[in-house]
Amino acid sequence: MIDRAQLIVVLESEPLITMIIADALEEAGFTNVAVFNDDSAAANFIHENASAIVGVIQNTVRGGRSASLMPKVAQLRSATTFSRTIPFDAGRFYFHVIDLLIPWTNVIFSTGWTGDRETRDQFERRHDSERYWEGQEVRKGQEGRRMINAWSARDRRINALAKPFTWEQLIDAVERWTPVEERALDYKARLLQPVNEEIAVILSRQPDLMHSMDPRQFEEFVAFIFQNHGFETELTAQTRDGGYDIRAVRADGANEFMLVEVKRYALNRPVGVGVVRALYGVKHLMQAARVALVTSSFVSRDAQREFSRTIPHELELWDYHRLEEFCSRYAMDLFEQ
């Protein structure tokens, strides 16, 4: 059950729909709702209140390019090779802000009108509302709507509501949100599953492209790999340098966790012995059962000797070839399914 005092952010460009959503939430007892029709203002608010936000209700068609958002977001999320490969013509605000600043939150996408035009009478009949509505042309059949529908089919914390929707449909979707205290460690990995599946397929054909990935995006992809090996995953904050990037917990309920250090290095830059020693130290400090070192490069000979001499049973190594093998096998299994 969602705490009705928790913060909900509404980002909607149509004033009428904004009022309908706000009225519906208020009538249902949700007392902490922030409403925006401007991407930059919403981005700043989300950045300042990220930990308190239980969910976002977003109009699908949001530009949200980095240049139009606050400098913090523009600095953290720049266009990468992979972000350009995603066939997504709407919802860029999601990638640039929600995914970046509040990846664990619930999201409702309102995905566009089911009719080309709505008269005031038609709209009021659909919504049982006395609000004034000016009919408008709307785009239909967007690729973004198809991807959002696919996401919502995979994860119950993502919902897609086709406008016009009723108050009951909206409140039902909000009440099915996951409370903050019940969010699983691997929520982000599940949220990004469709994107990471596509990345795995791309890397199975062009493994060198992993060196073009944003370092944070590479960490998210590594978390996806460990999820596929029976772990729930939690990424550390980007500003934190605690000697590891991912905390992986056995999904079978065993009281055991692994710490994962990720190094997105060029092929001509091997991981040195210092990284192995530091990771082994973090293992003892954090009392982890095991540690893993994942790199888009290779491990130097000195580091390999250190590894083989001291901790082969406590440290797992993933290098370029092993990542390439995972992507090839995953893509093959995906196509067979």
pLDDT in tens, 72-118: 666 665 544 444 444 444 456 777 788 767 767 889 988 765 544 45
Residues 6+ apart with CB under 8 A from 7: 32, 33, 34, 49, 52, 53, 54
Output the pLDDT for position 222: 94
Question: Are 213 and 171 within one domain?
Answer: no
Output the pLDDT for position 202: 86
Question: Are 55 and 109 within one domain?
Answer: yes
Output the pLDDT for position 302: 87
Question: Are 149 and 233 within one domain?
Answer: no
Could you say which of 158, 181, 204 is where a domain stops? 181
Question: Are 230 and 319 within one domain?
Answer: yes
**Closest by alpha carbon to 137, among 165, 117, 114, 123?**
117
Output the pLDDT for position 83: 46
Could you say which of 146, 181, 216 is where a domain stops? 181
Question: In this structure, how many other beta carbons lie within 10 angstroms of the beta carbon of residue 157?
Answer: 21
Output the pLDDT for position 155: 64
SS3 201: helix
**Closest by alpha carbon to 296, among 278, 332, 271?**
271
Domains: count for the chain: 2
Question: Are 122 and 254 within one domain?
Answer: no
**Alpha-carbon gap, residue 256 to 252, rounded angstroms:** 10
Domain span holding position 73: 7-181
Output the pLDDT for position 235: 86
Output the pLDDT for position 260: 94
**Alpha-carbon gap, residue 158 to 149, rounded angstroms:** 9
Low-confidence ranges of the chain (pLDDT < 70): 61, 63-68, 72-92, 100, 103, 112-147, 151, 154-156, 180-194, 238-242, 253-255, 309-312, 336-337
Output the pLDDT for position 262: 95
Look up the CATH number of the domain holding residue 315.
Answer: 3.40.1350.10
Question: Are 173 and 244 within one domain?
Answer: no
Cα angle 265, 190, 97 (rounded to 5 degrees) comes to 70
Residues 6+ apart with CB under 8 A from 84: none
Output the pLDDT for position 176: 83
Contact 190, 183 (CB under 8 A): no
